[in-house]
Amino acid sequence: MAENLLSEDQFATLKNYCKVDQDFDDDVLLGMVDSAALMITRAIKFSAMPIEFVNDPRFKIALMKQVKEDYYQRGLTADNYRPELTNSIADIVNQLRSEVIDNEDD
């Protein structure tokens, strides 16, 4: 694999979480990983980069949840409402955001 946010083992875990056992969608999944990671990171702190949070287990869970949601809901039309981040992911983002703000105040 090229330079990716996730290691090969982490990517295999993500694929297992998403219940994807073939390789032909790997490029699609990697694109979704990059996109979801940036979206979640920017929701935490706009000037941050995903690499700053990738080792936090909560970030990894949020990333896997968002990629799974995006992967299985791709192709749905605008007739279906989907929030950008599901409630469980938004909860993780809020917790991480509060910790970033607390650290900046120190």
Domain span at 51: 8-105
**Top-confidence residue, 56 or 106:** 56
Q: Which of 15, 40, 19, 9 minimizes the C-alpha distance to 27?
A: 15
- Distance between CA atoms of residues 28 and 90, nearest Å: 23
Does 24 map to a domain? Answer: yes
Does 1 map to a domain? Answer: no
Q: Note the pLDDT of residue 84.
A: 67
Torsion of CA 87, 80, 42, 7, to 10 degrees: 90
Number of domains in the chain: 1
For residue 18, pLDDT beyond 70: yes
Return all residues near 52 (Cβ < 8 A) that are at least 6 apart: 41
Does 78 map to a domain? Answer: yes
